[in-house]
Structure 1
Amino acid sequence: METRERLRNETRTVWATAISFALGTGVGFAALQGPIRPLTGPDGMTTPIAGIAGTIAAVAFVVSTVQHRRGETTPMPRWQAIVSDASAVALTIAFAAVVALGMLLAGVVLTEGVRGWHPSALGGGLIAGVASAIGGRFAYTAGVGLRTRDLAALLFGFLTIGTLFAMATAADPHWWQRNFSQLGLGAHGWAFNGTLVVAGLLFATVGSYIGRDLHRLLGDRDLRRIAVVVALWASTGLALAIVGFVPIEVNRPVHLSAAIGALALFAAAAVVTAWTLPGPPPALVVATIGLGILLVVAIVLHVPVELYSAAGLEAIAVGLGLVWMTTFVRVLAVLTPDVSRPSARRTLLGA
């Protein structure tokens, strides 16, 4: 029966991919009528194509979620259902952003790789179809059964795509000599700032999923501790979003305070989450100690040695943090039952 269900899901995924391609091609062809446009630039076709592909990916995720997870929140108390639904909304936005930014980055690469190419409306429609098919399949598959480790991988991938696009369109080519905040300046600063805002949303959603897994593992008796874990991840996401909402040129003290706060809250979330997990497993202990030592070494190489700029230290710190998160969610996936667990409590902190 399980094999039959998996085959049915694969068939649905193929149909979702085909429908996404058809929709993307049709809408793209209609939207790109008129004078032939370049791939990128103020009047480039990449921007509308990215919007089309992102929208179709969001719709594909919603359709898949309704198909495969309908009724999942019915036995849950209201507070637990609200958390689950809010996470689904956040993920819908995130999938649209990931696919759209991925298309924008692909447009930059294609412009450099095939210089002088100006596709017709039909050519642009086909590009939109391919981008929509890839994004639609990706989002539809996630809706079947998104796990916490998949979400962590999505966050890692989104940060990578968004940062690379911001680098490619940076107003100051020497931004790396200072810090990553320089990517948020200029006409294309929205790319980096928007990446931080959506990444903040994803951080909060990762925390929600971690809380879900911890509840499946520990049950209602540890709801208060789990609530603290979720709150710390949500606070980390909020601080990161503020960094994007308030670029350094708009309000330097607020921007820097939010950036430092995001790092401090992320460290606190990591410590409290690891402490809440039973054990803790040896893999997580080794990873935590090892990455902590590497972070100290990175700070020493930046401050007294001055081997690299603040941007280099920021990249190392974020990279090590994401590696720790990946290790943690993989360990959590091994320990957590893969079944929904409705809470028996009518309120989050009540009886």
Structure 2
Amino acid sequence: MSAPAQLTVEGAGIVCGAAVFVVVGVVALLLFWGRTLPIAGPDSLGQFVAIAGGIIAFLAYLTGRLWRREGLTPFQTTGEARPAPQPRSQAPSALGSRHRSALPLSSTAGVDIFDTFAIALAHGILALLGWLVLGAVLANGFQDATVYHLSATALAAAAAGVTGYAVFLSAARMDLMRLSTVLAEFAVVGILTSMLSAPDPHWWQLHLSALGMTQSVSSLAFNLTLIIAGVIVTAIARYATDARGIEDPRRRSAVLRVRVGLILIGVLLAGVGVFTLNISVTLHNVSAVGMVLVFALVVFWVRGALPNAPRSFFVLGYVFFGAIVLMLVFFAVGYYVLTAAELVAGVLVFSWLIVYLRVSGAAAEEAANVHVVED
């Protein structure tokens, strides 16, 4: 009797984590031998774990997708791990969390490979920044403490093993709902890392974009977070707005409008990170303001694209749009500083995108289940 699908995925994840534990442990032992290391900072245990974790996360995600034997596609074929083969007449044709039927590697579309690498890069940067922040927190808790080479080796290997295990499972089970969580975590960790490491502690007195104007690690984290997040939003737009199988021309048109809107939001979000204020004030402002304007359009277009979505979802979009307008009015009259208006607008746009991904994924999954039952 074969093991249940979920246990098969867990078993593969454990093997991946164990392999990473051994490899990183050997490398760390060779590098750390005879040394005592600080917890954070240059040449520290935290720095090694962060770099190793970033590399491991990137590779583990690609490994998890290839383990599915579907090629480098962004999402799993079914909600289960490694499904049993079905006769062609019984294979579901609807696209839920599936979004792509199983394809051999040679048949994988180039855009699928690009999307997969973008999501893998997000996992890598998330692991890198996450371990850096944790190292800084621990160093603050253990002032002036150092770690001996054997303890440092064990800690580094364990951290890398956990990273490999978690990211492998994320890749093997990736769908729109899980990706919404990854996107949220990536944005939060990236922005917080930038805030905590900003060379000017009073950056907030200017505006949020001040985080990306210096030549520091803080600015690199801020701009890279915006760019990668924008690439991910652009990449997943076509999966979250799949118009295949929609016969109603009005709904199909609405879905395509939402797709264009999401792509523009992703491009403009990346533009905010590419065109920092010290590079081009005009392009930076056009990207930021344009993203808010396109978001406003998408909020009103989405009802036609997802007519079966819960009413609360549409109300949420209208409330978020109203709140953004209110924040801009407060800034215009001098009640709010620009940083507060930018933070509120950014958080609301991102929050709505994450909710949209989850609602879209749930709607597609429900449609796929209905199709299977009818078959």
- Report the TM-score when normalising by structure 1: 0.83
Where does structure 1 lack aligned partners over 5 or more consecutive residues? Answer: 341-351
- Separation in 2 of the partners of 1:148 and 1:140? 16
The one-letter code matched in structure 2 to 1:101 is L
**Identical residues among aligned pairs (%):** 25
CA contact (8 A) 2:234 2:262 kept: yes
Alpha-carbon displacement from aligned partner over 1:118-149 (angstroms, at most 9, x marks no partner): 22333333332233223222211122221212
Structure 1 position 293 matched with structure 2 position 313 = no
Structure 1 position 284 matched with structure 2 position 291 = no
- Separation in 2 of the partners of 1:175 and 1:120? 37
CA contact (8 A) 1:32 1:45 kept: no
Match of 2:195 among 167, 175, 178: 167
Q: Counterparts of 1:297-336 in structure 2 under 5 Å?
A: 297-304=326-333, 306=335, 308-336=336-364
The one-letter code matched in structure 1 to 2:267 is L
Over 3 Å counting, the alpha-carbon distance change for 1:147 and 1:26 in structure 2 is same
Match of 2:122 among 76, 94, 99: 94
Structure 1 position 176 matched with structure 2 position 204 = yes
More helix by proportion, 1 or 2?
A: 1
Structure 1 position 154 matched with structure 2 position 182 = yes
Over 3 Å counting, the alpha-carbon distance change for 1:297 and 1:229 in structure 2 is closer
SS at match of 1:171: coil
CA RMSD in angstroms comes to 3.1
Quick check: 63-72 or 102-111, which moved more?
Answer: 63-72
Structure 1 position 275 matched with structure 2 position 304 = yes
The one-letter code matched in structure 2 to 1:263 is V
- Separation in 2 of the partners of 1:324 and 1:147? 18
Structure 1 position 111 matched with structure 2 position 106 = no
Structure 1 position 265 matched with structure 2 position 294 = yes
- Separation in 2 of the partners of 1:241 and 1:57? 22
Q: Counterparts of 1:207-246 in structure 2 under 5 Å?
A: 207-211=237-241, 214-215=242-243, 218=246, 226-246=255-275
CA contact (8 A) 1:38 1:45 kept: yes
Aligned residue in 2 for 1:253: 282
- TM-superposed CA distance for 1:86, in Å, is 2.1
CA contact (8 A) 1:216 1:337 kept: no
- TM-superposed CA distance for 1:2, in Å, is 9.9
SS at match of 1:119: strand
CA contact (8 A) 2:180 2:358 kept: no
- TM-superposed CA distance for 1:338, in Å, is 7.3
Q: Counterparts of 1:42-121 in structure 2 under 5 Å?
A: 42-70=42-70, 72-74=101-103, 81-121=109-149
User: How many positions carry a matched residue from both structures?
Assistant: 336
- TM-superposed CA distance for 1:246, in Å, is 3.0
- Report the TM-score when normalising by structure 2: 0.78
Match of 2:152 among 124, 128, 131: 124
